[in-house]
Structure 1
């Protein structure tokens, strides 16, 4: 039986389906339904406190909202996480056995289906894709959903993963703990929605380059919910940035040696929408280096 015919059947367009359908086809169908249903459950939203927006430096136009399509294998650390079969988050591979993501993607969740080496999240036949099922998610013990503090978590895979297009991203050195990154150009990637009007995640992995703003500028929007454990970026009037489905994904900076280092985890945006022009907020990874050493078992640079 043609896989496309089966997908149509499971979505209610055809009722007679052969009993010889393979379990793989069933899983593909259920996964595609989960993708179609993935929505705001993954995306923490905050009511802006102030609506008089400061003036930000206008960044060059590159858009995950309407964004740039990644080249297959461009982000070997990128992970797609299907959570309890009904939600979707991003993540990053930080060792061959551990995924880094947001606590609000892990808190209360039982089953994680991690897709590594993926480009088109709908295409289960991609040759380099590795899929791992895990029930070992660990949110930060002090995660606070009300203030979105300590929005960091890991998912342990149970065995090493690797292969073409699959490798960990570098974590910050301890020497970067006091670095604010304000004004730096950074990059975020994910399968999140490409606009407020869309209802599902993007089929293809996308990315956007954005600029870090001072926390004081971000507080001008969100108030004191912005603290030292968070990092914000300018969304260039709502034309660049993250959206539903990007939560937990990596914000990286290219260091002087040419390597990319993850400095943020997609955390929250404004209830006014992804295209509202409000900043996007991330968990500041440099605040959690000791936590990562202990819980993820990773060795970090001095």
Structure 2
């Protein structure tokens, strides 16, 4: 496990989690058809290889965190499967070397932590491979129930990524309350979320995974991208940090031609 230590500006240190985000105290996904937008992303740089989450965005892109594409040389992407290693006829494996990171991404502070991987191969959509539906049309409200997914660690010292996709619900928190923990490192374009009694958190390897709000049974809206955990680790009671997508709607639409 490798954390990117950010500048110590305020009360607690934020750590980037540039490996797959495993959900601490999450639930294992049982059916591959429930969340067909999930993408497992293996990132290769000149010096290392690590894991991130992502979501299929339209037919040509994977939406993920800026830290997951910054400095990358290539990507191996798995779609259609809820496991990473089990035999699965639904799994589609793609490769890419093209990405776009937000032009104002700051790898030290994780401001504007948003990126996209360009998919060069054409492929058929299937019941287990479907894009996530929409961007939010309004800012994320406090106390909104959201859902998080990932193959990341389930403990601070556990293996990552894990084989089975995990998920759980969380609640979006008030930024002013979250600044009591993270201080002014938490910008207006970020949001904290926590599970009931702070039981659910993201962990190392969950970076880049989508934070999703559901409207009804099938309409999924990506309201955030997994970005950071507290320097106290994912087993602490500190909430997890995400990049809000709403402030970047225009940039995303102009880049991907998809809403």
Encode CA deviations 1:215-272: one digit per residue, 9 max, x unaligned: 1111111111112211110245552111011100000011257511110000001111
1:50 aligns with 2:11: yes
Gaps of 5+ in 2: 13-21
Q: Quick one: distance in 2 between partners of 1:165 and 1:120? A: 12
Aligned equivalent of 2:28: 69
Which secondary structure does the structure 2 equivalent of 1:40 belong to?
Answer: coil
Residue of structure 1 aligned with 2:231, choices 267, 271, 287: 271
Q: Which 4+ runs in 1 deviate beyond 4 A?
A: 43-48, 235-238
Q: Quick one: distance in 1 between partners of 2:9 and 2:230? A: 6
Q: Quick one: distance in 2 between partners of 1:228 and 1:132? A: 35
Q: Quick one: distance in 1 between partners of 2:7 and 2:199? A: 19
Aligned equivalent of 1:180: 140
Cα RMSD (Å) of the superposition?
2.0
Residue 93 to residue 206, structure 1, CA distance change in 2 (3 Å): same
CA contact (8 A) 2:42 2:52 kept: yes
Encode CA deviations 1:160-209: one digit per residue, 9 max, x unaligned: 33223000012224x31xx2321011100010101112032221000010
CA contact (8 A) 2:100 2:116 kept: yes
Q: Quick one: distance in 2 between partners of 1:45 and 1:73? A: 38
Aligned equivalent of 1:7: none
Residue 234 to residue 211, structure 1, CA distance change in 2 (3 Å): same
CA contact (8 A) 1:48 1:221 kept: no
When the two structures are superposed, what TM-score results if normalisation uses the length of structure 1?
Answer: 0.76
Q: Quick one: distance in 1 between partners of 2:217 and 2:85? A: 35
Aligned equivalent of 1:250: 210
1:155 aligns with 2:114: no
Residue 232 to residue 142, structure 1, CA distance change in 2 (3 Å): same
Residue of structure 1 aligned with 2:165, choices 197, 205, 224: 205
Gaps of 5+ in 1: 1-38, 52-62
Q: How many residues align?
A: 245
Which secondary structure does the structure 2 equivalent of 1:291 belong to?
Answer: helix
1:135 aligns with 2:97: yes
Q: Quick one: distance in 2 between partners of 1:226 and 1:167? A: 32
CA contact (8 A) 1:47 1:222 kept: no
Which secondary structure does the structure 1 equivalent of 2:249 belong to?
Answer: helix
CA shift, 1:97, in A, is 1.1
Which secondary structure does the structure 1 equivalent of 2:250 belong to?
Answer: helix
Which secondary structure does the structure 1 equivalent of 2:193 belong to?
Answer: strand
- The structure in which a higher percent of residues are strand is 2
Higher relative contact order (CA 8 A, sep 6+): 2
Encode CA deviations 1:17-41: one digit per residue, 9 max, x unaligned: xxxxxxxxxxxxxxxxxxxxxx335
